[in-house]
């Protein structure tokens, strides 16, 4: 064996002082030529874009509901006065102005309930009971016609309360339907399989707008004369069935990823079909598709904006209505859209952050 000569490694210089602003800049923004170049280019773009945007949106903007002032700066600055002027119409739509405390309380209650439902310590049987109570209070407050409250028909409901109601109810109702349809597409009985596949393919094959049109205009034609179902309920059913079809496919994806051995093992333990689905298959399947489920929920939340085409003025529709009707403010619609964009973003971003927490929870069993 040849002798290996002993060659000590030369001492290396001590690492450079690695804290402080300069060190941070070096390691994060200028660690090599390419990084340095892209930092300079992106930084330049930001410098070019941000100051004018801040000037437009904040420093030169008009904050008071003053049409003349808004007109004067129209070319160079934002007019948030339009929000100050129209916010109650945007948030509550056509709901009678002097009664708007009712949707306000109803919406706050519903939001508190939604937040509570996301917190683990509240996942108790009474949560379902509280939901029924809160929904009942919501409807009594919104609809009135009892307890001395004036009646407000559902076609006068609007704005954010309507958006939240439609999104919440259609998601909650779509979920069980989606589970059944997803299981149905894997059922042993061909009739069930065909029915579930047909449902999914039919619904997925048409745009939501046409489902809403059918729910709103065609459905009443087939009803016996004298029997009418409230347009809000018809639209709610339409959105629910639509989303259930998409959600069913998401769930089915998860079902397919559960190994067959899991089902066999559960069967040999004597569990029935429904016990196997509930205790073994669905918990694993749903845990795998949390990101896609949240994707669907976020899409549903934003899709509710389409109901304005059947004369239900939720947040987006209410904005249109509030601003189109007033020639003075019409030029400032962009600011209105930015305002509701912020509202939508707050909701959707919260859902997305929440889903990341859920993912961490359901993946705990995989941590070593």
Partner 1 sequence: MTEPIIKFEKLNKWYGNNFHVLRDIDLDVAPGERIVICGPSGSGKSTLIRCINRLEEHQQGKLFVDGVEMTDDIRAIDEVRKKVGMVFQQFNLFPHLTVLENLTLSPMWVGKMPKKQAEEKAMQQLQRVRIAEQADKYPLQLSGGQQQRVAIARALCLTPKIMLFDEPTSALDPEMIKEVLDVMVELANQGITMLCVTHEMGFAKAVADRVIFMDEGQIVEQNNPHDFFNHPQNERSKDFLSKILGH
Site for partner 1, rule CB under 8 A: 259, 261-262, 264-272, 275, 279-280, 283-284, 287, 362, 364-368
Q: Which of 11/261 has CB closer to partner 1?
A: 261
- Tell me the closest approach of the beta carbon of residue 34 to partner 1, in angstroms: 40
- Tell me the closest approach of the beta carbon of residue 296 to partner 1, in angstroms: 22
Q: Which of 60/363 has CB closer to partner 1?
A: 363
- Tell me the closest approach of the beta carbon of residue 271 to partner 1, in angstroms: 6
Q: Which of 180/271 has CB closer to partner 1?
A: 271
Please state, in angstroms and rounded to a whole number, the distance separating the CA atoms of residues 246 and 242. 7
Please state, in angstroms and rounded to a whole number, the distance separating the CA atoms of residues 51 and 63. 19
- Tell me the closest approach of the beta carbon of residue 365 to partner 1, in angstroms: 4
- Tell me the closest approach of the beta carbon of residue 272 to partner 1, in angstroms: 8
Please state, in angstroms and rounded to a whole number, the distance separating the CA atoms of residues 231 and 157. 11
Rg (CA), the chain: 28
Torsion sign across C-alpha atoms 267, 271, 272, 278: negative
- Tell me the closest approach of the beta carbon of residue 74 to partner 1, in angstroms: 59
* Whether the Cβ atoms of residue 92 and residue 318 lie closer than 8 Å to each other: yes
Q: Which of 215/281 has CB closer to partner 1?
A: 281
* Whether the Cβ atoms of residue 236 and residue 139 lie closer than 8 Å to each other: no
- Tell me the closest approach of the beta carbon of residue 366 to partner 1, in angstroms: 6
- Which of 316, 325, 250, 326 lies closest to 288, judged by CA? 250
Q: Which of 58/265 has CB closer to partner 1?
A: 265
Q: How many other β-carbons are positioned within 10 Å of the β-carbon of residue 193? A: 14
The CA-atom distances, in angstroms, between 354 and each of 117, 143, 270, 331 are 12, 32, 37, 37
Q: What is the helix (H) or strand (E) element at residue 158, kind and residue range? A: strand 158-158
Which one-letter DSSP state was computed for residue 83? H
Q: How many other β-carbons are positioned within 10 Å of the β-carbon of residue 313? A: 25
- Which of 135, 93, 130, 136 lies closest to 110, judged by CA? 135
- Tell me the closest approach of the beta carbon of residue 180 to partner 1, in angstroms: 21
Q: Which of 28/361 has CB closer to partner 1?
A: 361
Q: Which of 114/263 has CB closer to partner 1?
A: 263
Q: Which of 42/269 has CB closer to partner 1?
A: 269
| Per-position DSSP letters for 234-294, written without gaps between them | HHHHHHHHHHHHHHHHHHHHHHHTS-HHHHHHHHHTT--HHHIIIIIIHHHHHHHTHHHHH
């Amino acid at each position: 064996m040849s002798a290996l000569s002993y060659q000590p490694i030369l001492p290396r210089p001590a690492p450079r002082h690695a804290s402080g602003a300069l060190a941070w800049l070096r390691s994060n923004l200028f660690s090599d030529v390419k990084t340095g170049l892209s930092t300079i280019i992106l930084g330049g773009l930001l410098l070019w874009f941000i100051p004018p945007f801040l000037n437009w949106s904040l420093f030169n903007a008009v904050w008071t509901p003053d049409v003349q002032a808004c007109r004067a700066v129209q070319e160079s600055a934002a007019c948030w006065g339009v929000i100050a002027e129209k916010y109650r119409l945007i948030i509550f739509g056509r709901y009678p102005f002097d009664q708007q405390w009712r949707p306000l309380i109803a919406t706050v209650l519903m939001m508190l309930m939604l937040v509570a439902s996301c917190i683990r310590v509240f996942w108790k049987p009474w949560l379902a009971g509280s939901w029924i109570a809160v929904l009942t209070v919501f409807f009594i407050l919104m609809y009135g016609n009892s307890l001395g409250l004036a009646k407000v028909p559902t076609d006068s409901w609007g704005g954010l309360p309507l958006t939240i109601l439609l999104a919440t109810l259609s998601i909650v109702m779509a979920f069980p339907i989606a589970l059944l349809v997803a299981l149905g597409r894997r059922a042993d009985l061909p009739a069930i399989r065909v029915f579930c596949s047909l449902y999914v393919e039919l619904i997925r094959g048409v745009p939501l707008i046409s489902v809403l049109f059918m729910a709103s205009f065609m459905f009443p034609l087939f009803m016996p004369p004298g029997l009418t179902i409230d347009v809000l309920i018809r639209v709610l059913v339409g959105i629910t069935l639509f989303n259930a079809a998409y959600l069913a496919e998401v769930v089915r994806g998860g079902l397919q990823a559960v190994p067959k051995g899991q089902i066999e093992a559960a069967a040999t333990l004597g569990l029935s079909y429904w016990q196997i689905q509930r205790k073994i298959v669905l918990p694993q399947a749903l845990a795998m598709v949390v990101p896609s489920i949240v994707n669907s929920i976020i899409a549903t939340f934003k899709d509710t904006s389409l109901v304005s085409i059947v004369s239900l003025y939720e947040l987006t529709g209410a904005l249109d209505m509030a601003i189109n009707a007033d020639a003075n403010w019409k030029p400032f619609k962009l600011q209105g859209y930015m305002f509701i964009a912020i509202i939508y973003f707050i909701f959707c971003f919260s859902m997305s952050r929440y889903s990341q927490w859920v993912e961490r929870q359901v993946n705990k069993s995989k941590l070593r």
